[in-house]
């Protein structure tokens, strides 16, 4: 059998590059056991980091959240955040990709399929880098369409777990219904999108669901709030009833890959003017400035 070889060639790999348990590999050689607990149980956590002009954006915040997720699932990793960050930077450099997405996943390792934690088994650590998925300009200029779906996820959505089945199902159902994102609703309150946080603007108030176990503490969400605060917006982090969505003047979503995207229609009802609004434009312009300043 071929042994995985380290890529020492300076040729940029068109499709990206992988770091797997200490080795830099191309995708074809980065192989994981069928006994990996990520594969068998979804027993792992992950992060997605945007790379702009060859620099990882908000890497510290992603590493801090990764550590929180690891602690929440009681998964010990000997590498420090600084060491993981250094590997991420080396992967970016070796890939030579400038506009990219870095994916980082840590699982509870490879062991015979038993529910109990395996003893003395090292975690499986993977980072991949690929050219970023391009968000069509049209999405930003014309806005996206969303549909609401019941939030069928577990009670710890603050943990960035690789168990994404409810998210996947809601996204697929939204797509089949002609929508771009699913907005999840739990007990009559909106939580977040399948892979994004949600903001709503009405009556001079920028509202977003408050941080607790029902949502992910989005890195982009945090930055949007910081920007909005600096710009003097009135911000409220609170429960948001699903009926409030359609009455909003503006709705937008935020995530590492989507950045900010305006939502112009929800469940066949037009939001505000049916066009990306001034609050979205203002905050997105400043978000882009922050990105440029850091890259
Ligand atoms: N998703 N909420 C959920 C459920 C998410 O999966 C994500 C990100 C976010 C936004 O978080 P951030 O701003 O830190 O990217 C909110 C990533 C991008 C993904 O699964 O691809």
CA of 134 to the centre of ligand 1 (A): 16
CB of 257 within 6 A of ligand 1: the answer is yes
Answer yes or no: 231 catalytic: no
Of 207 and 13, the one with more pLDDT: 207
CA of 90 to the centre of ligand 1 (A): 24
Structure tokens of 129?
A: 């880098």
Which of 167, 255, 287 to probe ligand 1 with, by most ligand atoms within 8 A of CB? 255
Residue-level pLDDT at 252:
98
CA of 205 to the centre of ligand 1 (A): 24
CA of 47 to the centre of ligand 1 (A): 8
pLDDT at residue 4 greater than cutoff 50: no
Q: What is the mean pLDDT of residues 90-118?
A: 98
Q: Distance of alpha carbon 120 from its chain centroid, rounded?
A: 30
Which ligand 1 atom lies nearest to the CA of residue 215? 2
Edge-to-edge order in the sheet of strand 124-131? 23-25, 17-20, 124-131, 100-107, 44-52, 55-56
pLDDT tens-digit readout, 128-143: 999 999 899 899 999 9
pLDDT tens-digit readout, 229-283: 999 999 999 999 999 998 999 999 999 999 999 999 999 999 999 999 999 999 9
The one catalytic residue among 98, 160, 171, 294: 160
Residue 103 to residue 255: CA distance in whole angstroms: 14
Which of 52, 196, 209, 227 to probe ligand 1 with, by most ligand atoms within 8 A of CB? 196
Percent of the chain as helix, strand, coil, to the nearest 5: 30, 30, 40
Q: What is the mean pLDDT of residues 111-136?
A: 96
Could you identify the residue written with the tokens 């490879």?
Answer: 110
E strand or H helix at 287, and its extent?
helix 278-294
CB of 48 within 6 A of ligand 1: the answer is yes
Which of 58, 161, 194, 197 to probe ligand 1 with, by most ligand atoms within 8 A of CB? 197
Residue 166 to residue 33: CA distance in whole angstroms: 25
């Amino acid at each position: 059998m071929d042994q995985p070889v380290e890529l020492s060639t300076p040729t940029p790999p068109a499709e990206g590059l992988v770091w797997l348990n200490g080795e830099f590999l191309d995708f074809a050689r980065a192989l994981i056991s069928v006994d990996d607990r990520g594969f068998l149980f979804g027993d792992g956590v992950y992060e997605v980091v945007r790379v702009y002009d060859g620099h990882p954006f908000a890497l510290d915040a992603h590493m801090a959240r990764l550590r929180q997720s690891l602690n929440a699932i009681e998964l010990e990793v000997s590498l420090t955040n600084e060491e993981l960050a250094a590997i991420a930077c080396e992967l970016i450099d070796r890939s030579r990709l400038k506009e990219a997405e870095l994916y980082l996943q840590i699982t509870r390792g490879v062991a015979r399929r038993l529910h109990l934690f395996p003893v003395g088994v090292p975690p499986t650590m993977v980072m991949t880098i690929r050219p970023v998925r391009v968000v069509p300009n049209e999405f930003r200029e014309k806005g996206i369409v969303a549909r609401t779906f019941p939030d069928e996820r577990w009670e710890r959505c603050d943990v960035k777990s690789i168990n994404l089945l409810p998210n996947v199902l809601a996204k697929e159902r939204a797509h089949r219904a002609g929508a771009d994102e699913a907005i999840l609703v739990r007990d009559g309150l909106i939580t977040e999108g399948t892979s994004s946080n949600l903001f709503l603007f009405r009556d001079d108030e920028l509202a977003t669901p408050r941080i607790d176990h029902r949502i992910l503490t989005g890195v982009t969400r945090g930055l949007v709030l910081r920007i909005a605060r600096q710009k003097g917006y009135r911000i409220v982090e609170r429960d948001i009833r699903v009926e409030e969505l359609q009455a909003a003047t503006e709705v937008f979503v935020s995530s590492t890959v989507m950045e900010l995207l305006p939502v112009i229609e929800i469940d066949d009802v037009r939001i505000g003017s049916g066009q990306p609004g001034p609050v979205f434009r203002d905050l997105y312009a400043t978000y882009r400035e922050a990105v440029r300043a850091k890259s």
